[in-house]
Amino acid sequence: MLGIVALIFIIILSVKLSLAMNKHYSAMLSNEIPPAGIRVIQMSPLLYIISIVAFVQPISWLVWLAPIPFGFLLLVPGIMLGKKFSMLLERSGTDVGVEAGRTASNIMWLGIGVALFIAGNIAFSLMIPSVDYFMTH
């Protein structure tokens, strides 16, 4: 039940941050961030939602055989660009730039939070069968 609440919270925050980055488009352009980078950072929170959906789907068990599950790869652009752009924008010296930097930083931290959420669910799901096995034998 708590996982569903966290999932809804992550979805709402992802959409909210994606829309907030649209508001900071001109501030990011004035700080020499390329338009393609702006679009990637704007769309990356929406990839967080896809990452969670990919984790929940039954096919995700097949993906776990890979060294890095597919869902984690979708988190990388938002985390990396969020860190890079937040550092750049927070040193811009303008209030608009600092606010845009905070939004980029929030995108990075949401990505880290989603990674921890997925990793925690993976660890918890791996622990449950072993507990059942020891309780029955």
Report the 10 Å Cβ neighbour count for 104. 30
Place of tokens 């704007």: 42
For residues 63-90, give the mean pLDDT: 81
Q: Whole-prediction pTM value?
A: 0.82
pLDDT tens digits, one per residue of 3-34: 788 888 989 999 999 999 989 988 898 888 89
pLDDT tens digits, one per residue of 118-135: 888 878 777 776 555 555
Contact 121, 10 (CB under 8 A): no
Place of tokens 């925050």: 13
Angstrom CA distances, 134 to 1, 123, 131, stand at: 25, 17, 5
pLDDT tens digits, one per residue of 54-74: 776 655 455 555 556 677 888
